[in-house]
């Protein structure tokens, strides 16, 4: 500050050489206020309310007669009240060390040794390490220089004189102190984010008043992060504009991360409440579930520094360089703390250690990461929080991939599984992306249908489907319509459509409507029926989303078997048994057989046996023939029941099949309308 002021005064005197007969009696500094951004104005002027804790008697607290629109005074008279008030977002604490002092205090040489409520609370605050500025009140007396130095050495910011007979003088001093604290805090936060203020100056002379002025104007913020850090630290302008409200699903993850954001913004409150400073959170789960988007949303929500990196970026072919890269990252984060480090694909260096020579470099990197996360040389008042993401299962059981190292997993305060979205979440996402892309030609029915049919798919897959529909629409010079979006889903999942002859489509239509009709009669509504040939199938029906159904009864499974058999049963009823014996029903029969085995072996639903055995165990035992006969009996019995259902609905099946041949596909809503007597066209 001294050098800064000296340089400006030097420039003023240099300019005054051009002015003759000057009679300058005073020099003033002023700032161009109009036009300054709101963010910069906050560095000079507090536009909010400042909260302050006062631990003193009621008479002393009355001396804090300050504007209520600028300050909130939290008064406490006991140790318990004061501790409770620490939960507020306080800017400073003012403590009377004589509050609650014993009567024999005259025998104590130093005021800091008083056995008092004030001293007890002061020592408690220092022990907790809140980082809150503490001012010791000299109430109606003047401390000795020794006492002042003692309080400051123990952690107080300073002492301040308060005479109850002159409350106005104290109020003025109080406001001056709070203004300084505010500006110091705001400027520190501003500089920690890598910003400085750039400005222009000009010198103005008013000879009439004998006044010179140094005028600062065109104030703007400029990055001051060094080049070494510039490539990883995201500034506020560079951070994604994603917010938690933009992230579909992941409710648990958002709640947990919101908690940690609040901690990073106000770590002292967390420490006051006895919390252990958290190290980080590990996000894991299937690819495409939004783990990286959650990290971006955390960057968008927080006002602390955000450092983003992939674990593979640590790797270097030179010995020791990879480990040094990790140490540099954490050193950088501590320099700009409070800060968040986001490490994507952490499994690149976080797999379970084996001790093999070929993995020694990776394991050394992991050891370095574990040491840094342990918090050596970390200031709890300026925390560094690690957010990591991986597609690996934490314990190796969720996806069959090798587990992450247990020591690494243990470093994180919580491991959050980011699951695949539910049907409702998929519907919300499709609505959102439709609005952002201005896809006005899409009907709510088809958007609901897409959400219903994408069970087990991530939002990233849905995004890809919409992108494919958009590209296909551009090629055809059309808007994205229902047909184009539905076709895009089919094309993305199963490949290009294959052309067949008319007789083939008629037969496939009977086959697929047979499935759909039987499913509908059994209470299982189809969501999509198509005769288009893609991949290794000629057509198919898709069942309505049943991801929320907790269990199935034996009758539910029998209905599923009938649905599987209904394609061949329909061909048998319409074309005769011999023509129905073709390869088109192979996958249907495979599923029906599997369900029958499960009824007998996995679910204990056989009337004569409750024992549960694996199919492979049975087939290798003397019971094989008996169980095979039972499975075949179930299939033969249900085939007869299915044929009866098809015969009873033959007329309706034929009518719907004719429409299906014409349209190529039917949504679940269209099929249900036809089943209920509607005339879809």
Distance CA 524, CA 517 (A): 10
Cα(88)–Cα(51) distance, rounded to whole angstroms? 8
Whether residue 512 lies in the annotated active site: yes
Residue 244, φ and ψ in degrees, nearest 5 = -60, -30
Spell out the long-range contacts of 579-588 with Cβ–Cβ below 8 A and sequence spacing 24 or more: 584/508, 584/511, 584/538, 585/511, 587/537, 588/515, 588/564
Other beta carbons within 10 Å of 518? 28
Distant-in-sequence contacts of 446-450, Cβ < 8 A, 24+ apart: 446/482, 446/485, 446/486, 446/667, 449/486, 449/527, 449/528, 449/667, 449/668, 449/669, 450/426, 450/485, 450/486, 450/489
**Contact at 8 Å (CB) between 613 and 604?**
no
Q: How many CB atoms lie within 10 A of CB 573?
A: 22
User: What phi and psi values does residue 162 have, to the nearest 5 degrees?
Assistant: -135, 110
What is the pairing mode between strands 195-206 and 71-76? unpaired
The 10 Å CB-count burial string (b at 16+, else e) for 276-311 is: ebbbbbbbbbbebbbbbbbbbbbbbbbebbbbbbeb
Q: 3-class DSSP state for residue 199?
A: strand
Distance, CA of 515 to CA of 487 (rounded, Å): 21
**Do 53 and 82 meet the contact criterion of CB atoms below 8 Å apart?**
yes
Measuring CA to CA, which residue among 395, 412, 413 is closest to residue 404? 395
Query: Which position among 512, 571, 638, 672 bears the catalytic label?
Result: 512
Nearest C-alpha neighbor of 349 from the set 329, 376, 335: 329
Contact indicator for 416, 256 with CB cutoff of 8 Å: yes
Cα–Cα distances (Å) from 214 to 33, 158, 410, in that order, read: 14, 32, 58
Cβ neighbours for 456, distance < 8 A, ≥ 6 positions apart: 420, 547
* Alpha carbon distance 594, 574 (integer Å): 27
Residues catalogued as catalytic: 512
């Amino acid at each position: 500050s001294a050098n800064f002021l000296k340089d400006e005064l030097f420039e003023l005197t240099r300019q005054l050489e051009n002015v003759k007969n000057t009679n300058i009696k005073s020099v003033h500094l002023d700032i161009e206020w109009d036009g300054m951004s709101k963010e910069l104005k906050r560095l000079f002027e507090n536009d909010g309310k400042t909260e302050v804790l006062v631990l003193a008697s009621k008479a002393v607290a009355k001396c804090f007669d300050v504007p209520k629109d600028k300050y909130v005074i939290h008064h406490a008279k006991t140790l318990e009240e004061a501790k409770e008030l620490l939960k507020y977002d306080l800017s400073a604490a003012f403590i009377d060390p004589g509050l609650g002092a014993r009567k024999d205090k005259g025998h104590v040489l130093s005021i800091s040794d008083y056995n008092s409520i004030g001293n007890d609370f002061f020592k408690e605050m220092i022990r907790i390490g809140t980082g809150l500025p503490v001012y010791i009140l000299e109430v109606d007396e003047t401390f000795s220089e020794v006492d002042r130095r003692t309080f400051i050495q123990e952690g107080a910011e300073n002492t301040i004189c308060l005479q109850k007979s002159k409350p106005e003088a104290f109020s003025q001093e109080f406001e001056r102190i709070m203004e300084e604290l505010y500006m110091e805090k705001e400027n520190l936060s501003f500089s920690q984010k890598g910003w400085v203020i750039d400005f222009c100056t000009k010198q103005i002379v008013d000879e009439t008043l004998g006044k010179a002025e140094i005028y600062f104007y065109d104030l703007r913020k400029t990055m001051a992060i060094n080049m070494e850090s510039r490539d990883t630290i995201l500034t506020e302008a560079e951070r994604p504009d994603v917010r938690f409200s933009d992230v579909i699903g992941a409710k648990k993850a958002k709640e947990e991360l919101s908690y940690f954001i609040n901690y990073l913004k106000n770590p002292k409150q967390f420490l006051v409440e006895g919390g252990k400073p958290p190290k980080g959170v590990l996000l894991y789960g299937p690819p495409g579930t939004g783990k990286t988007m959650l990290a971006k949303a955390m960057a968008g929500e927080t006002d602390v520094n955000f450092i983003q990196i992939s674990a593979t970026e640590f790797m270097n072919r030179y010995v020791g360089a990879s480990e040094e890269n990790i140490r540099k990252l954490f050193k950088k984060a501590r320099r700009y703390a409070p800060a968040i480090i986001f490490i994507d694909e952490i499994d690149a260096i976080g797999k379970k250690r084996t001790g093999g020579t070929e993995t020694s470099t990776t394991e050394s990197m992991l050891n370095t990461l574990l040491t840094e996360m342990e918090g050596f040389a970390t200031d709890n008042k300026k925390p560094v929080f690690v957010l990591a993401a991986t597609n690996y299962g934490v314990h190796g059981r969720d996806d069959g991939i090798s587990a992450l190292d247990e020591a690494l997993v243990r470093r994180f305060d919580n491991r959050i599984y980011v699951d695949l979205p539910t049907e409702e979440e998929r519907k919300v996402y499709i609505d959102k992306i439709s609005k952002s892309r201005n896809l006005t030609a899409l009907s709510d029915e088809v958007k609901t249908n897409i959400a219903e049919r994408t069970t087990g798919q991530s939002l990233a897959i849905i995004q890809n489907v919409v992108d494919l529909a958009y590209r296909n629409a551009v090629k055809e010079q059309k808007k994205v319509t229902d047909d184009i979006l539905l076709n895009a889903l089919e094309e993305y999942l199963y490949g290009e459509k294959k052309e067949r002859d008319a007789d083939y489509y008629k037969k496939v239509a009977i086959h697929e409507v047979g499935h759909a009709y039987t499913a509908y009669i059994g209470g299982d509504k189809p969501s999509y029926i198509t005769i288009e040939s893609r991949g290794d199938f000629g057509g198919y029906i898709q069942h309505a989303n049943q991801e929320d159904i907790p269990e199935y009864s034996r009758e539910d499974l029998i209905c599923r078997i009938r649905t599987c058999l209904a394609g061949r049963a329909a061909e048998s009823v319409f074309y005769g048994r011999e023509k129905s014996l073709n390869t088109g029903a192979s996958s249907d029969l495979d599923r029906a057989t599997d369900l029958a085995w499960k009824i007998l072996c996995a679910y204990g639903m056989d009337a004569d046996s409750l024992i549960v055995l694996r199919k492979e165990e049975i087939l290798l035992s003397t019971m094989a023939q008996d169980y095979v006969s039972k499975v075949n009996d179930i299939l033969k019995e249900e085939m007869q029941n299915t044929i009866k259902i098809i015969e009873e609905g033959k007329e309706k099946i034929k009518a719907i099949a004719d429409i299906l041949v014409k349209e190529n596909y039917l949504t679940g809503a269209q099929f249900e309308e036809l089943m209920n007597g509607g005339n879809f066209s």
